[in-house]
Amino acid sequence: MTETLNVPASASMEPQPAPPGADAKPAKGRSLWSDAWHDLRRNPLFLISAVLIVVLLAMVAFPGWFTSASPTVGDLTHHYQGKPNYGHFFAEDWFGYDTQGRSVWARMVHGARASVLVGVLVTLFVTILGGLVGLVAGYFGGWLDSVLSRITDIFQGIPFLLGAMVVLTTFTKSNLWVVIAALLFLGWTQIARVARGSVITVKQSDYVQAAKSLGASTVRIMFRHIVPNALAPVVVVATTALGGYIAAEATLSYLGIGLAAPTVSWGVDVSNGKDALRTAPHILISPAVMVSLTVLAFIMLGDAVRNALDPKSR
Amino acid sequence: MGRYVIRRLLQMIPVFIGTTFLIFVMVYAVGDPVNAMFGERAPDPATAEQLRAEFNLDKPVWQQYVLYMGKIFSGDFGNAFNGRPVTELMATAFPITIRLTLLAVVFEIIVGIVLGVITGLRRGRPVDSGVLMMTLVVISVPTFVTGTLAQYLLGVKWGWIAPAVSPAAPAGELLLPALVLALVSLAYVTRLTRTSIAENARADYVRTAVAKGLSRGRVTVRHLLRNSLIPVVTFLGTDVGNLMAGALVTERIFNIQGVGFQLWQGIVRQNSPTVVGFVTILVIVFLLANLLVDLLYAVLDPRIRYA
């Protein structure tokens, strides 16, 4: 959906080969990426999303910093018990207890790992697979492009959630890798389309023609000249999509076919909570808030990066 | 225009065959539907053999696919494993989901485009920033959360509406589910329209139209909006597929017995004829929606017609 906007946007970007992480000298010859970074640091949208993401990553890496309660050990005397009226910040009962008497806060913290892992890994694989398909289709053109584009069309013809559901039910056991595979199966098409459009725009620039006439090999042109310059729109779409995959994991779990019980994830908690909704809504709402905040953080980050990379929108 | 339509129709054929084959392989090749029919018990080998022959499950996959497609084009979608013809399920399920999806699309078009035009013309003002923040929040909250919360608050806690939709699913009862279904896409439509309007508002033809002395409303609707709608129309076309799949979640929450409900039952019980039949129809709907979008392009932008 957003690719219709991103593709033409890339045409207006500075056509200088700019390896990411280049020196940010405030002089005139600033590269696209350092210029974007300069712009990002002043964007409140970026700062808010960066804080949210840092906290989230801390939860993933060091859940012990946030809670000492166990996410898997429950005390049935507490089950369905809601949030206490007096505040116990960061304590076991901060957000009440779930159906098994486990601490909801502990599960919110520990659930981050599985959910973020699904989001990050799916985004990584999708970017590699979709990026390669788009690169090959866009660079070589001709019949190869036609074939790859039709294959992309075929995979895009199946609604995302529906396809993921069908893939998941064909596996008898559902674990993290199966969920990742199911989301990857249909998820790569969006990136492939964006990458293809971006590569086609970059391919026509003078420096690519120059490299060609100097006799650079195809691989060198592709990975030294085209990839770094065609990357921007792909990065934007991938950032926004990361949040979407986390939401998709939770949605599949809600439908009862995503990650399952021994795994601690927000999706699993959401599907536990939906049956207790009428008596104890906090069991569903707490992990749902975590999912929403994460998605929000990545969408804001994607928006901020897009604005920074596209000088036209300033 | 005629050649353009024919070319688009021809391009649809390989995609249709590819997509339906993919679904067919996913559902039939992996997993054993006959075993699934018997649940926990092991099936009697002779009965299983007979059933496999009856459903063509003993032949290679491509042959099954060809046989299946041949039947579909003569209007026979086979029987669900419980003996009811799949077409019968479709006849009750599709009208409900089509009603739900159409209502959702209407919400998207009216609310989304109006909000998009308002914010696009007032870029950077408080209205713009406010609506933009709201769209971010709406996009971030997954549909199942908005759905369960709306049902819990409006249906259970405050009792304004019935928490579940009755089997006949009249349009009045579908209003809330349709709004829930439309919400995320609605936010996207708003953002797309806003960007597109803001970009085109500085175009020369808009300045010309204003200079000619046309009224503000006429410039906005006839000149600016018409030229800004192409990305929005593209989005709406691809979104029809997403909405129908999103109905999977919405229909489960509000207990609507439409396509999503039947599909969910079919998938969970590995009821292959139901799943493949319904998905095939959904793919056709999706492809037709995309075709319609391409035709609308030609209406909106005459340059495409003659290219």
Is the CB of B267 less than 8 angstroms away from the CB of A169?
A: yes
> Alpha-carbon Rg of chain B, whole angstroms?
23
Say whether both B184 and B236 belong to one domain. yes
Say whether both B238 and B105 belong to one domain. yes
Average of per-residue pLDDT values in chain A: 77
Write out chain B residues lying below 8 Å of A161, CB-based.
242, 245-246, 248-249
Where is the domain boundary, B27, B42, B73?
B73
Say whether both B33 and B111 belong to one domain. no
Nearest to B11 by CA among A157, A135, A141, A201: A157
Please check whether residue B86 lies inside any domain of the structure.
Answer: no
Write out chain B residues lying below 8 Å of A247, CB-based.
142
Could you tell me the two tokens for A165? 């559901």
Q: Span A103-116, mean pLDDT?
A: 81
The answer to whether the pTM exceeds 0.90 is no
| B 190-209: CB under 8 A from A | 192, 195
* Better pLDDT: B274 or A128: A128
User: Chain A residue closest to B17 (CA)?
Assistant: A154
Of A162, A250, A293, the CB nearest to B245: A162
The structural domain count of chain B equals 2
Question: How does residue A7 score in pLDDT terms, banded at 50, 70 and 90?
Answer: very low
- Smallest CA–CA distance, residue B97 to chain A, in Å, is 15
Of B27, B142, B287, the CB nearest to A157: B287
Say whether both B55 and B190 belong to one domain. no
Could you tell me the two tokens for B165? 């939709």
Is the CB of B144 less than 8 angstroms away from the CB of A251?
A: yes
Is the pLDDT score of A125 beyond 90? Answer: yes
Query: In which residue are the tokens 């067919």 written?
Result: B24
Is the CB of A296 less than 8 angstroms away from the CB of B31?
A: no
Helices (H), chain B: 2-24, 33-37, 45-54, 61-73, 86-107, 113-121, 126-140, 143-150, 171-200, 204-211, 216-218, 226-228, 230-253, 259-268, 272-300, 302-306
pLDDT at A22: 44
**DSSP per-residue letters across A77-111:** GGTT----SS--TTSTTTT-B-TTS-BHHHHHHHH
pLDDT at A128: 92
Query: In which residue are the tokens 């409140």 written?
Result: A44
Please check whether residue B305 lies inside any domain of the structure.
Answer: no
Tell me which residue range forms the domain holding B53: 2-73
Please check whether residue B231 lies inside any domain of the structure.
Answer: yes
Could you tell me the two tokens for A185? 């199966």
pLDDT at A126: 92
Is the CB of B282 less than 8 angstroms away from the CB of A170?
A: no
pLDDT at A2: 37
Say whether both B143 and B269 belong to one domain. yes
| B 136-165: CB under 8 A from A | 136-137, 139-145, 148-149, 152, 156
Where is the domain boundary, B18, B44, B73?
B73
CATH of the domain at B140: 1.10.3720.10
Write out chain A residues lying below 8 Å of B148, CB-based.
274, 277, 284
Please check whether residue B238 lies inside any domain of the structure.
Answer: yes
ipTM above 0.85, yes or no: no
Is the CB of B282 less than 8 angstroms away from the CB of A288?
A: no
pLDDT at A129: 92
- Smallest CA–CA distance, residue B286 to chain A, in Å, is 7
Is the CB of B152 less than 8 angstroms away from the CB of A281?
A: yes
Is the CB of B275 less than 8 angstroms away from the CB of A255?
A: no
pLDDT at B29: 62
Do A290 and A112 touch, CB atoms closer than 8 A? yes
Write out chain A residues lying below 8 Å of B164, CB-based.
none
Write out chain A residues lying below 8 Å of B137, CB-based.
292, 296
Say whether both B99 and B56 belong to one domain. no
- Within 8 A by CB and 6+ apart from A294, the residues are A52, A56, A115, A116, A119, A243, A246
Of B18, B27, B136, the CB nearest to A166: B27
Say whether both B67 and B203 belong to one domain. no
Please check whether residue B214 lies inside any domain of the structure.
Answer: yes
Q: Which 8-state DSSP code applies to residue B79?
A: B
Chain A residues whose C-beta is within 8 A of a chain B C-beta are 1, 4-5, 150-151, 153-155, 157-163, 165-167, 169-171, 243, 247, 250-251, 254-257, 270, 274, 277-278, 281, 284-285, 288, 291-293, 295-296, 299-300, 303
Write out chain B residues lying below 8 Å of A154, CB-based.
14-15, 18-19, 22
Nearest to B234 by CA among B162, B304, B281, B135: B304
B24, B144, B254: best to mutate for the A interface, most A CBs within 10 A: B144
Nearest to B238 by CA among A168, A152, A286: A152
Say whether both B277 and B247 belong to one domain. yes
Q: Span A257-286, mean pLDDT?
A: 77
Please check whether residue B79 lies inside any domain of the structure.
Answer: no
* Better pLDDT: B174 or A173: B174
Q: How far is CA A8 from CA A13, A304, B233, B235, in A?
A: 10, 18, 17, 16
B25, B148, B268: best to mutate for the A interface, most A CBs within 10 A: B148
Q: Report pLDDT digits (tens) over A200-254.
A: 888 888 888 888 888 888 888 888 888 888 888 888 888 888 888 888 888 888 8
Could you tell me the two tokens for B126? 């408080």
Say whether both B69 and B97 belong to one domain. no
Is the pLDDT score of A119 beyond 60? Answer: yes
- For residue B79, which phi and psi values (nearest 5 degrees)? -105, 145
- Within 8 A by CB and 6+ apart from B127, the residues are B118, B119
Of A4, A154, A285, the CB nearest to B18: A154
Say whether both B160 and B34 belong to one domain. no
Say whether both B99 and B48 belong to one domain. no
Please check whether residue B146 lies inside any domain of the structure.
Answer: yes
Amino acid found at A170: T
Say whether both B26 and B165 belong to one domain. no
Do A108 and A93 touch, CB atoms closer than 8 A? no
- Measured CA to CA, the distance from residue A162 to residue A182 in angstroms comes to 10
Percent of chain A whose predicted confidence (pLDDT) is above 70: 79
Question: How does residue A3 score in pLDDT terms, banded at 50, 70 and 90?
Answer: very low
For each of chain B's 307 residues, which pLDDT tens digit applies?
A: 677 778 778 878 888 888 888 888 877 765 566 666 666 666 677 777 777 777 666 677 777 778 777 777 777 777 666 667 777 788 888 888 888 888 899 998 899 889 888 888 888 788 888 888 888 888 888 888 888 888 888 777 777 777 777 776 676 777 888 888 888 888 889 988 888 888 888 888 888 888 888 888 888 888 888 888 888 888 888 788 778 777 888 888 888 888 888 888 887 777 777 888 888 888 888 888 888 887 777 777 766 665 4
* Better pLDDT: A84 or B50: B50
Q: What's the sign of the alpha-carbon dihedral A27, A28, A32, A35?
A: positive
